[in-house]
Amino acid sequence: MSGYTVLIVFVLVAVLCGVTWVAAPKENRTVWRSSVILGISMCFLMWAITYLSQLHPLQAPRRADLRPEM
Amino acid sequence: MSEKEEGVFRSAEMSLVQLYVPTEISREVLYDIGKLNLIQFRDLNSKISEFQRSFVNELRKLDNVERQYIFFKNELDKKSVELKKYPYEQEFNKICAQSDIDELTENGQLLEDRVGQLIESLYNLYEKEKSLKQFKYSVQSVDNFFKLNASNLPSSHDNEHDHLLNNLESGTQYTSEMNTSSFISGVISRDKVQVLQQILWRVLRGNLFYYTEELPELIYDAKSETKVAKNTFIIFSHGQLIHQRIKKICESLDCDLYNVDSTEDLRSQQLEEINGNLSELDIVLDQTDVALNSELIAISKDLSKWWEIVAREKAVYKIMNRCDYDGSRKTLVAEGWIPKDEIDTLNSTVKQTSNTLPIIVNILETTRTPPTFHRTNKFTAAFQAICDAYGVATYREVNPGLPTVITFPFMFAIMFGDLGHGIILSLAALALVLNEKKIGAMKRDEIFDMAYSGRYILLLMGLFSIYTGFLYNDVFSKSMSFFNSGWKWPEEFEIGDNISAEQIGVYPIGLDPAWHGTENNLLFTNSYKMKLSILMGYLHMSYSYVFSLVNYIHFKSMIDILGNFVPGLLFMQGIFGYLSLCIVYKWSIDWYAIGKQPPGLLNMLISMFLSPGTVEEPLYSGQASIQVILLIVALICVPWLLLLKPLYFKRKFDQEAKYKQLNDDSNDESLVESHEGDDDEEHEEHTFGDIMIHQVIHTIEFCLNCVSHTASYLRLWALSLAHAQLSTVLWTMTIGNAFGATGIAGVLMTVLLFGMWFILTVVILVVMEGTSAMLHSLRLHWVESMSKFFEGEGHPYEPFGFEGLLDEYI
């Protein structure tokens, strides 16, 4: 796992967006294209930001209430 | 027929058409056009007042009919008779013949007369009934009074009052003195009994005898249409003058006075007579009531149909009043806006209506601004409404309603990220969507109607909340472990040790569950959500900003691209684009591996402005010079943004002025004429001063807004944190308490606390927090996003049609 995952997923998402652009139904074409592509992109962005923020964290989770057997 | 333009990225292209319709068939033609719901007619007579237009008389007649229908509707409502609804399609396919309209008018008048008469006679009958009943009760109470006191007589002392009573009862001595009766009896409404007694006491200084008795039933008052509780009263006192005064006082208090005979025989006669009258009256009253009811029921069967016909007729005449006539008054000239791709539909419809008489449809060239028409469907309509509530887009500019379809629910979801709450919201919205036909036909109150018309917004908000909740790893404030955690806790430690986990990987989708319940959980989610909101805000604003480029290209405004878009873009990207890039870059570096201190980005940005050229904690090599360059670019952009456009226009105006001077002598007359033309909208001339002021404001606004709008997106962070914390608190304070207890108490506690937790979750976390997140998302769209490209100077397209004419009445 590394930062390249984000790039690979980006390529996949871009391909998916391209497919959506071409495969959008004739009726209400603009709405389909805009909404689906925008939706996919925003979901990707949200995921990517979450993923990147945990890639090289400056903090480690810390707690005092753990018991050894758990 | 050509393929229709979608009309959602930009508003549909409109044309101004002119119709020449022979007067004989103008009603029919306009009716058919109204059924199409396509043309927004211009008012060609805007200088003529409403009362001087051609069809005032017809409209007045129809108004009168409509007034009668409103009267019927009110009467129906009083009797709570339901109107019968008509399936409109077949009934109203063809316009009603003029004779039918006349018949409706006559019919309306007849019915109004008849119903009015019935109501009036009913009113009179009720009044009569009221007075008879009150008379009856007065007689009875006088009777009662005398009986009561007669039995007391032997034991009572010989005071004057008993004496009087005796004499009265025997009806001998005083009759010559008092020509009718020596007491006054009547009926008064119960809440005035006290008042009457007090006034009489004061006026007559206690020199009277007053007796009152409650009526056993409520008396119907036809004037106020309510039932009133009343009392009978009897007043004894001396003298004619005093009697006059008492009567006046009673009248002023709305009492009804009755002459009750003083002897018992006469009273029983009176009573008999009254009872006879009353029973007769009851029969008549019943009959009248039945007659009125059957009349109203008959009306209720057809009223909505008649009303629809009359309302449509009225709408047609209103449009005809907007039209012009040619000199000979043989043809009607109408002008209106119609979507360009619907002209064929109009042509074929018009041809169908008029087989023999020619109708001419002209397409006019005009400099007027057409209305803005976005074609929407049931899915996009609500999103469009959100944007239109802020302002109607200028004709042919990029429609903000289109990206709003996704960005609005997504921005909401960033603030509302919880899988469980998202599921509740989606299910509620799904129920509305799946039953939309059934609910659409129902009558809805205001709040429910809002939820209903926004059902697709709610659905998307719910679905995206499920996604963001999944990424935040929150379901009702608990975490989920779908994948292997990227953190490993140490194997050996003592209970109570403060231990840190070790990174062994990255959690693939969403926030690592290892963070849940840790001491520094908030520290991490804070930094994550803050950066998330800055990045999302920056991207949302940049995305919106690019639409302004699309607009400039579409309107072929090169100067706006060079003088507005480019400097603005450089300014925004140079500061906030750079910041966003730094955030992502900082994430991608493993700071422990390279053994360097990770720099604080906020301090970096601040020192970029305050001490350019020095970098205390470097993020990358060559940072100082790049930051200086960016700063210089941003500084250059300000005067660029401020001056380029005004200077360009100044040059243009100067050239035009020169040109004008040269041509002034020859072209004087034609200029005057062209200015005289018409009419409702003038294309205002911009002077250099106007443009300069506008640009100064724009520059200041843009530069300040870059900062404040980015900061404004931090609300995403604040609200999502607040939402997560609130749901944690709710969990621990309600259902969290139930898990310790065992036995019956445990069962009871679990059930009760679960109920409490669930209700509070729905009411507070989903409904209240959801509303607040929605308003914040709305603001982010109206202010932060739309200010980047949206002009909003259009006027809406309101085609002439027959839909919803009666919505306010029926």
pLDDT digits (tens, 9 = 90+) for B779-788: 999 999 999 9
CA dist B95 and B353 (Å) reads 11
Residues B545 and B571 in one domain: yes
In this predicted model, what pLDDT tens digit does every residue of B322-333 receive, in sequence order?
A: 888 877 778 889
Q: Which of A31-40, B86-95, B775-784 has the lowest mean pLDDT?
A: B86-95
Residue B174 has pLDDT above 80, yes or no: no
CB atoms within 10 A of CB B11: 26
CA dist B128 and B277 (Å) reads 10
Q: Does A25 touch chain B (CB under 8 A)?
A: no
List C-alpha distances in Å: B57 to B53, B60, B63: 9, 5, 10
User: Percent of chain B scored above 70 by pLDDT?
Assistant: 92
Q: Which residues pair with B256 in a beta bridge?
A: B187
Tell me the pLDDT band of A1, cut-offs 50, 70 and 90: low
Instruction: Tell me whether residue B8 is in a domain.
Output: no
Residues B546 and B694 in one domain: yes
Instruction: Tell me whether residue B505 is in a domain.
Output: yes
Q: Which residues pair with B214 in a beta bridge?
A: B231
Q: Which of A46, A55, A56 sits opposite B471 (nearest CB)?
A: A46
| Residue where a domain stops, chosen among B236, B258, B275 | B275
Residue B755 or B351, more confident: B755
CA dist B323 and B329 (Å) reads 11
Residue B234 or B383, more confident: B383
Closest alpha carbon within chain B to A34: B403
Instruction: Tell me whether residue B95 is in a domain.
Output: no
Antiparallel, parallel or unpaired: β B219-221 and B499-500:
unpaired
Q: Which residues pair with B338 in a beta bridge?
A: B15
CA distance A42 to chain B (A): 8
- Candidates A7, A41, A46, A51: best to mutate against B (most CBs of B within 10 A) is A46
**pLDDT score for B158:** 44
Residue B74 has pLDDT above 60, yes or no: yes
Query: Which residues are within 8 A (CB) of B577 and not within 5 positions of it... i.e. 6 or more apart?
Result: B538, B542
| Residue where a domain stops, chosen among B712, B733, B761 | B712
Instruction: Tell me whether residue B728 is in a domain.
Output: yes
SS3 B799: coil
CA distance B542 to chain A (A): 14
CA distance B311 to chain A (A): 34
User: What is the pLDDT of chain B when averaged over all its residues?
Assistant: 86
Q: Which of B60-74, B351-365, B526-540, B766-780 has the lowest mean pLDDT?
A: B351-365
Residues B573 and B448 in one domain: no
- Inspect the interface and report whether the beta carbons of B377 and A56 lie closer than 8 Å: no
Q: Which two tokens stand for residue B18?
A: 């002119």
Instruction: Tell me whether residue B437 is in a domain.
Output: yes
Residues B448 and B489 in one domain: yes
Residues B751 and B638 in one domain: no
Question: Which residue range forms the structural domain that includes residue B761?
Answer: 375-510+719-794
Residue B170 or B256, more confident: B256
**pLDDT score for B382:** 94
Dmax (CA) of chain A: 61
Instruction: Tell me whether residue B219 is in a domain.
Output: yes
- CATH code assigned at B184: 3.30.70.2750
Tell me the pLDDT band of B495, cut-offs 50, 70 and 90: confident
Residues B466 and B599 in one domain: no
Q: Does B9 touch chain A (CB under 8 A)?
A: yes
Q: Considering its fold, how many domains does chain B have in total? A: 3
**pLDDT score for B753:** 93
In this predicted model, what pLDDT tens digit does every residue of B678-711 receive, in sequence order?
A: 445 555 667 888 899 999 999 999 999 999 999 9
Which amino acid, one-letter code, is at B229?
A
Residues B575 and B702 in one domain: yes
Instruction: Tell me whether residue B255 is in a domain.
Output: yes
- Inspect the interface and report whether the beta carbons of B506 and A1 lie closer than 8 Å: yes
Residue B128 or B803, more confident: B128
Q: Which of B379, B471, B520 sits opposite A59 (nearest CB)?
A: B520
Instruction: Find the DSSP H helices in B323-435.
Output: 343-353, 381-390, 401-415, 419-434
**pLDDT score for B90:** 61
**pLDDT score for B169:** 53
Q: Does A10 touch chain B (CB under 8 A)?
A: no
As to burial, measured by CB atoms within 10 angstroms (0-12 exposed, 13-18 middle, 19+ buried), residue B594 is exposed
Residues B480 and B628 in one domain: no
- Candidates B524, B533, B539: best to mutate against A (most CBs of A within 10 A) is B524
Residue B671 has pLDDT above 50, yes or no: no
As to burial, measured by CB atoms within 10 angstroms (0-12 exposed, 13-18 middle, 19+ buried), residue B211 is middle
Quick one: average pLDDT of B741-751?
Answer: 88
Residues B674 and B561 in one domain: yes
Residue B627 has pLDDT above 90, yes or no: yes
**pLDDT score for B425:** 96
| Residue where a domain stops, chosen among B275, B307, B329 | B275
pTM assigned to the model = 0.82
Q: Does B498 touch chain A (CB under 8 A)?
A: yes
Quick one: average pLDDT of B488-508?
Answer: 86
CB atoms within 10 A of CB A1: 13
Element (H, E) at B142: helix B98-152
Closest alpha carbon within chain B to A67: B495
Quick one: average pLDDT of B295-301?
Answer: 88
Cα B703 to the center of its chain, rounded Å: 36
